[in-house]
Amino acid sequence: MKISIIMPIYNTGRLLRPQIQSILDQEYRDYELILVDDGSTDDSGAICDEFADKDKRIVVIHKKNGGVDEARNTGIDAARGQYLYFVDSDDELLPGALQTLKDGMENHEGVDISVAGYVYSHEGKADPPFLPVSSRLFSRNQLMDELMCPKYQNLGMPWTNLYKASVIRDNNLRFNKNIHTIDDRVFMVSYLCAMKGLAFHTTQPIYKYNLGIGVSFQIKNKYDKRSLTIFDGQCLIFDAVRNHGFSAKSIWWARHRMINSYDKKRESFLGYGDKEAVQYLDDKFFSIVPNYIYRLFKIRQSAKNFLVTLRIIKE
């Protein structure tokens, strides 16, 4: 088989059927669908078994709850396909999604990753696509530049990417279960560091993302110690980008994101009075970024904000 589709599932029974059906409705048929029931306490597991009884391409793994990244890693270990594709259980594939990703990988020589677009869905109604449809090939360096750039910051979503299983297995790549919210982005950066070939990128939407349902939205606006790992993830990304031969532009943006993450998390945990978290941030950040670099960065940001206020430059 060509594609192994890996779907981690935890208590999404009310949304699970449409996602599974959107995969079964794809015209492209050469795939296996690995449903990893991560210890669900609702009817998700029973729904998985129900679909598996009707379609031999579906593999169900029931496991003790360990989180989305552990579930994805379980799927990686079980996958038999040439390519790996990760989807969430509360979204939907758009028609032609698998064919688009597969063609991007195989219709051009030397491609190691196929990347497509997506749309947001608000209460079942999909927004218009972000960009006009266009396609091009990137080198790994060019794709990293696009990934780090704020204009394309959503490139890191796993459900827009078709990965080569050989790159993942040969380099023992796994999702980091200690990183929350930006674990997807950390994985993609690790993949770009490991791959040698080209990237195919199309803005053609292949995925409908149901906005406001995932774990990241549950922990975003309340006190949660796990949000410290957003900063940890940005540190991992910065370290990977600067040590794997990527451009000065990518390194600058990776550092920029890490510094912004430090500032935001420090302010947040100061507000909650969590001195231990603040000390952790300070110690880790200044072990990576010299104090004078941080001061220069803040001066630059202040100058830029002043020029934006005067409307001399755009934000």
Q: Where are the beta strands (DSSP E) in the chain?
A: 3-9, 31-38, 58-63, 83-86, 92-93, 111-122, 125-126, 135-138, 161-164, 198-210
What integer pLDDT is reported at residue 127 of this predicted model?
Answer: 66
Q: Measured between alpha carbons, how far is 45 from 65 in angstroms, rounded to an integer?
A: 12
What integer pLDDT is reported at residue 174 of this predicted model?
Answer: 98
What integer pLDDT is reported at residue 231 of this predicted model?
Answer: 96
What integer pLDDT is reported at residue 161 of this predicted model?
Answer: 97
User: CA 99, 103, 107 angle in degrees (round to 5)?
Assistant: 165
With contact defined as beta carbons under 8 Å apart, do 115 and 199 qualify? yes
What integer pLDDT is reported at residue 217 of this predicted model?
Answer: 45
In tens digits, the chain (315 residues) has pLDDT values of 799 999 999 999 999 999 999 999 999 999 999 999 999 999 999 999 999 999 999 999 999 999 999 999 999 999 999 999 999 999 999 999 999 999 999 999 999 999 999 998 876 666 666 667 889 999 999 999 999 986 655 677 899 999 999 999 999 999 999 998 899 999 999 999 999 999 999 999 999 998 765 444 444 556 788 889 999 999 999 999 999 999 999 999 999 999 999 999 999 999 999 999 999 999 999 999 998 888 888 887 777 666 656 666 565
What integer pLDDT is reported at residue 300 of this predicted model?
Answer: 76
What integer pLDDT is reported at residue 128 of this predicted model?
Answer: 65
With contact defined as beta carbons under 8 Å apart, do 198 and 131 qualify? no
What integer pLDDT is reported at residue 215 of this predicted model?
Answer: 44
Q: Measured between alpha carbons, how far is 175 from 173 in angstroms, rounded to an integer?
A: 7
